[in-house]
């Protein structure tokens, strides 16, 4: 576990140092989360969560646990998660909804208003979110282009923040947390209820071949995710009160790093 943690923390520490997050700030966040998880997820059935048990599990003193539980948590900044989800749903609707695509299957260029305009698209696929706020966000990240005549063109099928560090850091939190949660589930229940978690990796690919593979992997990954999206969208319906539901998805990511040419190995997959 310690070796795995050291490997996990290297890229995280790189991000933290690049954004001037000191060890003290990281330590305080880690302490608070340790206590929250201990209280919320590691209680003894039938017993009320206690400061003493959180202290034992976390290794922190009772005084420190008490402070972390009573001290108000710093108010977070703008919630990028909701904006991310709503913007993504609008783009999905634009490429999937028959009212907003051409006969060829390509997304139509649309007006802001009108029965098949952007406002109607937002109302249909993003609830009560103001259409102007969604449009400004999609234009800001480069997903939508507004032409001089006022019409809107879809530039990319996916909502990927291009210019906002805050949004990108928000994705760091959610996407990495999802991967770790899947690994944790498989460690506990992989023999009886495994969740899909695979990667393919080779150690000796010529650097000049990487641009081709980047394009190939991006195209096929996007096609696969859009296929999954269509299935999930068909099953994402209103649920009756009390009916169980789940947040579910599939994530794909590309990675590469330089390799010491004196220590190359044969390719493998896992």
CATH of 78-154, one of 3.30.450, 1.10.3470, 1.10.10, 1.10.700: 1.10.10
d(CA 43, CA 227): 40
Say if residue 54 is exposed, middle or buried (CB neighbours under 10 Å; 0-12, 13-18, 19+): buried
Kindly report the number of other CB atoms within 10 A of residue 167's CB atom.
22
Contact at 8 Å (CB) between 154 and 143? yes
Query: Over its length of 270 residues, how does the chain's per-residue pLDDT go in tens digits?
Result: 899 999 999 999 998 898 888 999 899 999 999 999 999 999 888 888 899 999 999 999 999 999 999 887 765 444 555 566 677 788 888 988 889 988 888 899 999 999 999 999 999 887 777 888 889 888 887 889 999 999 999 988 766 655 556 666 777 778 888 999 999 999 999 999 999 999 999 999 999 999 999 999 999 998 998 889 888 888 877 777 888 889 899 999 999 999 876 654 444 444
What is residue 140's three-state secondary structure? helix
d(CA 227, CA 96): 11
Q: Whole-model pTM? A: 0.65
Ramachandran quadrant class, 87 (left: phi over 0; alpha: psi -120 to 50; beta: rest)? alpha
Contact at 8 Å (CB) between 85 and 236? no
Nearest one of 67, 80, 86, 82 to 28, comparing CA atoms: 67
Residue 114: both structure tokens together: 């009108």
d(CA 106, CA 95): 7
What is residue 250's three-state secondary structure? coil
Reduced to 3 DSSP states, what percent helix, strand and coil does the chain have, rounded to the nearest 5?
55, 5, 40
Domain boundaries of the chain, sorted by first residue: 1-70, 78-154, 166-234
Contact at 8 Å (CB) between 203 and 259? yes
Nearest one of 84, 53, 47 to 69, comparing CA atoms: 53
Nearest one of 167, 166, 177, 175 to 37, comparing CA atoms: 177
């Amino acid at each position: 576990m310690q070796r795995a943690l050291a490997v996990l923390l290297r890229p995280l520490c790189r991000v933290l140092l690049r954004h001037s997050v000191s060890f003290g700030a990281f330590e305080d966040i880690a302490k608070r989360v340790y206590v929250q998880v201990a209280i919320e997820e590691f209680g003894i059935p039938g017993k009320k969560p206690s400061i003493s048990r959180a202290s034992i599990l976390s290794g922190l003193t009772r005084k420190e646990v008490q402070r972390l539980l009573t001290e108000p948590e710093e108010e977070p900044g703008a919630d990028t998660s909701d904006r991310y989800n709503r913007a993504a749903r609008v783009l999905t609707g634009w490429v999937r909804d028959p009212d907003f695509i051409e006969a060829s299957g390509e997304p139509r260029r649309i007006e802001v208003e009108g029965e098949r305009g952007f406002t109607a698209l937002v109302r249909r696929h993003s609830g009560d979110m103001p259409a102007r706020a969604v449009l400004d966000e999609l234009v800001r990240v480069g997903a939508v282009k507004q032409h001089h005549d006022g019409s809107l063109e879809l530039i990319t099928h996916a909502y990927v923040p291009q210019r906002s560090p805050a949004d990108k850091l928000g994705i760091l939190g959610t996407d990495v947390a999802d991967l770790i949660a899947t690994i944790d589930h498989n460690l506990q229940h992989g023999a009886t209820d495994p969740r899909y978690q695979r990667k393919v990796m080779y150690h000796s690919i010529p650097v000049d071949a990487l641009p081709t593979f980047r394009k190939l992997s991006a195209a096929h990954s996007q096609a696969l995710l859009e296929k999954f999206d269509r299935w999930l969208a068909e099953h994402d319906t209103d649920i009756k009160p009390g009916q169980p539901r789940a947040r579910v998805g599939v994530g794909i990511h590309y990675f590469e790093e330089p390799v010491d040419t004196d220590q190359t190995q044969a390719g493998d997959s896992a």
